[in-house]
Chain A
Amino acid sequence: MSADIIQAINLEKHFNGGDIKALNGVNASVKKGEVVVVIGPSGSGKSTFLRCLNLLEVPTGGQVLFEGVDITDKRADINLHRQKMGMVFQHFNLFPHMTILKNMTLAPVKLLGKSQAEAEAKAKALLERVGLSDRANAYPSQLSGGQKQRIAIVRALCMDPEVMLFDEPTSALDPEMVGEVLEVMKELAKEGMTMVVVTHEMGFAREMADRVIFMAEGKIVEEGAPEKIFSAPEQARTREFLAKVL
């Protein structure tokens, strides 16, 4: 299907020579503009699934098609594809030796061939939107967790990605900072960004997701619209999980 921007086909990821089966035949697709939220118990393979989508983890089996191209193919230039797949990590992973502005302009300048001025203009506009204009010349260590994660999001946006991947973006935050990050993500979703979000924030899933995927033991157990997953889950495994987290 051409409307699918990402398609995971029979994804399999085994660690330690097969001892750990993190992913066991995952099939999933993401349409352009869709917000897909992935939920499931810890260790169920959510991160592995997400990281296989941009090949931070190389799957041991199956394929990932991005914009119709098989990026698990050895001949695919993964660096080029990754430019269009922004990723936000649980622990921010800002570059501590660079200012916020440098964090945001490094990739556009080095990889997209933008001029420093061009890249800075875009970075500043994005900073403005997340309310952090005054921190442009600060270093990451001078920011709060919530600020760091907002910066991490706009750093990825500086590359004009087609898709944004989020791996538990609020899990490392103090509770009072979760809201400001979710707010930025909601705005992004409203603007039509294609997003795959691994999170434990069920409120966000309910409100923003077009589709919720529930994973357990390296497999997709159930997926569907949030209303269906949260109100009328079909699988006992899903009900059991939701009973614990809701």
Chain B
Amino acid sequence: MKPSASQTWPLKAPDWILNGPEWLSDLGYDFYKSFVFDNRYQMYIKGLGNTLLLTLLALLIGVALGVVISLIRVSWDKNHTEMQGPGRFFLGFFNALAKIYLTVIRGTPAVVQLMIMYFVIFASSRNKVMVAALSFGINSGAYVAEIIRGGIMSIDEGQMEAGRSLGFGYVATMRYIILPQAFKAVLPTLANEFIVLLKETAVAGYVGLTDVTYAGNIIGGNCYDYLFPLLMSALIYLILVMFFTFLVGKLERRLRSSER
């Protein structure tokens, strides 16, 4: 099944690996070429760094975008019946834009958005991480917007009324009173979005970005053997997801115990 290691391949494993029983030396050799030879382990580390950076940047962009989009949607829904003049026109215009954005982004695959972004819109850019972060951020923003909108709508109407009755405008009441509470309410859900995003960035290899998946893919190709490289990619994701899930659980418990 496995080619006899020492002859078939140009790379040479150390003797202590080749001298054991056959199955062990085969396995050892696979391991060796998947991780050690040519310092290949560094590629997984690079992939890990890129995956984390990409996910983090995308989430930041997604949250910023999500806040703006959700605010447009909520203010339109709450206020448009009582508005008039240019204010109503602009808010209506942005609300329509927001709806188109939500429809398009949620109606098309993230990987297609990524490829359009990299090969068409930013065809001249070499910065794969930034372009991918932007693309995933724009994608995530659509989902974050709906999460935050849900959070805002979960806040009792009396909070807005109390803010307005003190003399705060709509925007100031949102900023000081509604949004902080809405954020707290959806923090665990947002943290889960980070975990979802972490796995969704696995298609970054489509534009040649060396993330965890693409690192496994490249090394597998170089080794003519995908077993260990892809298992390693999977393992890295699993550990990350388990770790972040653990953190989210802690966060939820913390929030619940401070619940008022």
Out of A89, A91, A94, A159, name the residue touching B167 (CB < 8 Å): A159
B172 within 8 A of A: yes
A139 in contact with B260 given A58-B82, A106-B176 (CB within 8 Å): yes
B181 contacts A96, CB within 8 Å? Answer: yes
- In the complex, which residue of chain A has the Cβ closest to the Cβ of B85? A74
- Cβ–Cβ < 8 Å partners of B180 in chain A: 97
Check B226 for interface membership: any CB of A closer than 8 A: no
A84 to B176, CA, bound (A): 20
Q: By CB atoms of chain A within 10 A, which of B82, B165, B169, B260 has the most?
A: B165
Task: Verify B161–A110 contact, CB threshold 8 A.
Answer: no
Chain A residues in 8 Å Cβ range of B253: none
Complex Cα–Cα for A82 and B169 (A): 10
0/1 per residue, B4-24, Cβ < 8 Å to A?
A: 000000000000000000000
Q: Number of contacts between A and B (CB, 8 Å)? A: 63
* A89–B161 touching, CB < 8 Å: yes
Contact present for B260 and A96 (CB under 8 Å): yes
Residues on A with beta carbons closer than 8 Å to the beta carbon of B158: 89, 91, 93
Chain B residues contacting A94 (CB-CB under 8 Å) are 162
B168 on interface, CB distance cutoff 8 Å: yes
B98 on interface, CB distance cutoff 8 Å: no
Q: Which residues of B are found within 8 Å of A107, using beta-carbon distances?
A: 166-168
Query: How far does the alpha carbon of A91 sit from the alpha carbon of B161 in the complex, in Å?
Result: 11
A80 contacts chain B at the CB level, 8 A cutoff:
yes
Contact B260 A93 (CB under 8 A): no
Q: How many residues of B contact A (CB 8 A)?
A: 20
Interchain nearest-CB distance for B246 vs A (Å): 26
B161 touches A111 (CB 8 A): no
Min CB distance, B151 to chain A, in Å?
13
Task: Give the secondary structure class of B's interface.
Answer: helix
Residues of B within 8 A of A156 (CB): 165-166
The reply to whether the CB of B106 lies closer than 8 angstroms to some CB of chain A is no
Q: Which of A156-177 contact B (CB under 8 A)?
A: 156, 159
Q: Which residues of B contact A89 (CB under 8 A)?
A: 158, 161-162
Instruction: Using known A-B contacts A93-B159, A106-B176, determine if residue A87 contacts B165 with beta carbons closer than 8 Å.
Output: yes
B199 at interface by CB-CB < 8 Å: no
Residue of B at shortest CB range from A165?
Answer: B165
User: How far apart are the CA atoms of A111 and B172 in the complex, in Å?
Assistant: 10
Q: How far is the CA of A222 from the CA of B249 in the complex (A)?
A: 60
- Contact (Cβ within 8 A) B161 A56: yes
Asked whether any CB of chain A lies closer than 8 Å to the CB of B177, the reply is: yes
Q: Across the interface, do B162 and A82 meet the contact criterion of CB distance under 8 Å?
A: no
**Chain B nearest CB, measured from A140 CB (Å):** 7
Does any Cβ of B come within 8 Å of A79's Cβ?
A: yes
| Residues in A neighbouring B168, C-beta threshold 8 A | 79, 107, 110-111
8 A Cβ contacts from B194-248 to A: none
Chain B positions within 8 Å of A83 at CB level: 166-167
CB distance from B220 to the nearest CB of A (A): 50
Question: Can you name the residue of chain B whose Cβ is closest to the Cβ of A84?
Answer: B167
* Residue of B158, B162, B177, B260 contacting most chain A CB atoms (<10 Å): B162
Pairwise interchain contact A140-B165, C-beta atoms closer than 8 A:
no
Q: Are B181 and A82 in contact (CB under 8 A)?
A: no
- Does A86 belong to the interface (CB within 8 Å)? yes
Instruction: A159 to B168: give the CA distance in the assembly, Å.
Output: 12
Q: In the complex the two chains form, what is the Cα distance from A140 to B166 in whole Å?
A: 18
User: Which chain B residues lie closer than 8 Å to A196 at the CB level?
Assistant: none
Is residue A142 within 8 Å, beta carbon to beta carbon, of the partner chain? yes
Taken together as a complex, chains A and B put the C-alpha atoms of A79 and B165 apart, in Å, by 8
Bound-complex Cα distance A154 to B77 (A): 33
Interfacial residues of chain A within 106-133, with CB under 8 A of chain B in the complex: 106-107, 110-111
Shortest beta-carbon contacts, A-B, top 9? A141-B260, A83-B167, A93-B162, A87-B165, A93-B158, A107-B166, A82-B167, A96-B260, A111-B167
Interface residues, chain A, with chain B CB atoms under 8 Å away: 54, 56, 58, 79-80, 82-83, 85-87, 89, 91, 93-97, 106-107, 110-111, 139-142, 155-156, 159
Interchain residue pairs with CB less than 8 A apart (18): A56-B161, A56-B164, A79-B167, A80-B167, A83-B166, A83-B167, A89-B161, A93-B158, A93-B159, A93-B162, A95-B177, A97-B184, A107-B167, A110-B172, A111-B166, A111-B167, A139-B260, A155-B166
